[in-house]
Structure 1
Amino acid sequence: MTHVIACIDGSSITLAVCDYAAWASRKMDAPLEFLHVLGKSEYPVPADLSGNIGLGSREHLLQELAELDEKRGKLALEQGWLMLNEAKARAMADGVVSPTSRQRHGELVDTLIEFEHDIRLLVMGRQGEHGDSAGEHIGSHLENVVRTLHRPILVIPTDYSEPQRILVAFDDSATTRKAVEMVARSPLFRGLPCHVVMVGADKAEAREQLDWARTTLEESGFEVTASIHAGQVEEVLCGYRTEHAIDLIVMGAYGHSKIREFLVGSTTTQLIRQAKLPLLLLR
């Protein structure tokens, strides 16, 4: 059975990650697993310092440096397990049955690739441990994870609020059609009012595409509001979100080439930076 996997670290956003992951686990009736990855800076690989004995070096100083690295690694390991245990306790208090945890050494992206077949939904914070005070900064690992994994990723803000209304950003691409179909069949959003928004010219072809999305969702029992708006994608979606009290946006991620994104910027990256609510990203 695939899992809801929540990536946690030492950042202030960890509590919100735990709460959104617990919400998703309950709604989807899927097992919840917390993952903590110790990077090289937190858990250094023992080094052979013998080649550094030269001018200004002493063997006992090199030995002390090695011992400090080893101690730092053990403390990081212990801190990680304490964090995982507290996350599990918080999830159980939120009604999740028997959450599990894993701790790994290495790079987050490589670890998630290894576990990709186990992931039904990945939950991550917008900012990581070193980005708490960085304003609109995106966590250093997040963009790489979103570009690499082909699993739904829920990117969450700093505070938890249970979603009550969702918005699907729709452009009739294969990815956003997949998003509509996923919302229609997923228990994650069952019972929530759903807004479908297209950005562009209000033409007959666009209306036909929007009607497909509306019908697909209505046939699955959703209360649907569908509309087309002119303007810039980020501005339209963020403005619509504020006007209609949207709690969560579902959208495709990184649909253009790297060259196009370099020239005109990435809608995905801009929305992650600007949005003050969870984004469910699909590729």
Structure 2
Amino acid sequence: MMSQVIACIDGTNVSTAVCDYAAWASLRLDAPLQFLHVLEKALYPAASDLSGNIGLGSRETLLHELAALDEKRGKIALEQGKNMLKAARERAIADGVPAPTSRQRHGSLLETLADIADDIRLLVLGKHDEHLGDHIGSRLENVVRTQHRPTLITPAVFKTPRRVMLAFDRSSATRKGIETVAASPLLRGLPCHVVMVGDDNAANREHLDWARATLQAAGFDTPTALIPGEVEQTLCDYRARHDIDMLIMGAYGHSVVRRFFVGSTTTAVIRDAQVPVLLLR
């Protein structure tokens, strides 16, 4: 099957933005778009088999009633999911995406994504602000940690990306990120700021020059900056000062940038920025 943009929607307040960012990415990549809805088993268990509970009297009756309620809840959620997928397809078509498709599963999101991993060109997920505590959100973080496909994490409101920023630190993950951005049509034509936080020395300048040359050779307008300071604040200030619409990072490497985005400060930065984050593997 041709690789697709896979957009995970769940009916929460971020689903509309997920639809819009997924449609934008599908058109930029000229890739098919599929919406995915997973009915989590933990919340909607399958109908129970009570055949072994003969002779339990009132307890058996209660179990049957509870099982019937679970089954009814599951059927309602399934129907709601179908309607949600239909609305998502209609919205994508209105955005200009030809023939978007949908898929509905009952099970685990992680297992479902593992099953269809070969179909994924870009995974689009929404960030639920109300679930943010010390982590990005347990389900979202688990997906990001286990996925080996580019993943776009969206805020609750869509804004067409006009300027993007890649936090660069000389690591293999961020060097690969530069090469991935250069080779992909997703961001082509957009200014791509490459920002490095560190000492202004010859070694850092050499790496930054490589990043600029690689992107410019692919046709990008590539402003670069080498700025001393504390990583988190420096990158946040640069993003705000230049009105950056999307952050790009290599996911789960072993660098200072990785710790900035994925460590304890990740939650506050992504939540406060209200911009999408593109994670490259």
Question: TM-score surpassing 0.5?
Answer: yes
What CA distance in whole angstroms lies between the structure 1 residues aligned with 2:137 and 2:82? Answer: 22
Length, aligned pairs only: 275
Q: Which residue matches 1:62?
A: 63
In the alignment, structure 1 segments of 5+ residues that lack a partner are none
Contact 1:11 1:132 in 2 (8 A): no
2:205 equivalent among 198, 204, 207? 207
Contact 1:12 1:132 in 2 (8 A): no
Q: Does 1:224 align with 2:225?
A: no
Q: Normalising by the residue count of structure 2, what TM-score does the alignment of the two structures yield?
A: 0.90
Q: Normalising by the residue count of structure 1, what TM-score does the alignment of the two structures yield?
A: 0.90
Q: Which residue matches 2:274?
A: 276
Q: How well do the aligned residues superpose, as a CA RMSD in angstroms?
A: 2.3
* Deviates most, 272-281 or 202-211: 272-281
Q: Which residue matches 2:239?
A: 241
Deviation at 1:265, TM superposition (A): 3.3
Deviation string for 1:181-213 (max 9, x for gaps)? 111121111111110001111111000000000
Deviation string for 1:124-158 (max 9, x for gaps)? 0112xxx6475886333111111111110000111
What CA distance in whole angstroms lies between the structure 2 residues aligned with 1:216 and 1:63? Answer: 64
Deviation string for 1:156-178 (max 9, x for gaps)? 11100000001011111111111
Contact 1:253 1:268 in 2 (8 A): no
How do 1:64-103 residues align onto structure 2 when only pairs under 5 Å count? 64-103=65-104
What CA distance in whole angstroms lies between the structure 1 residues aligned with 2:197 and 2:168? Answer: 8
Contact 1:153 1:280 in 2 (8 A): yes
**2:249 aligns to what SS in structure 1?**
strand
What CA distance in whole angstroms lies between the structure 2 residues aligned with 1:41 and 1:77? Answer: 14
Deviation at 1:233, TM superposition (A): 2.2
Q: Which residue matches 2:149?
A: 151
Q: Which one-letter code corresponds to 1:277 in the other structure?
A: V
What CA distance in whole angstroms lies between the structure 1 residues aligned with 2:264 and 2:70? Answer: 40
In the alignment, structure 2 segments of 5+ residues that lack a partner are none
Contact 1:254 1:268 in 2 (8 A): no
What CA distance in whole angstroms lies between the structure 2 residues aligned with 1:20 and 1:211? Answer: 31
**2:89 aligns to what SS in structure 1?**
helix
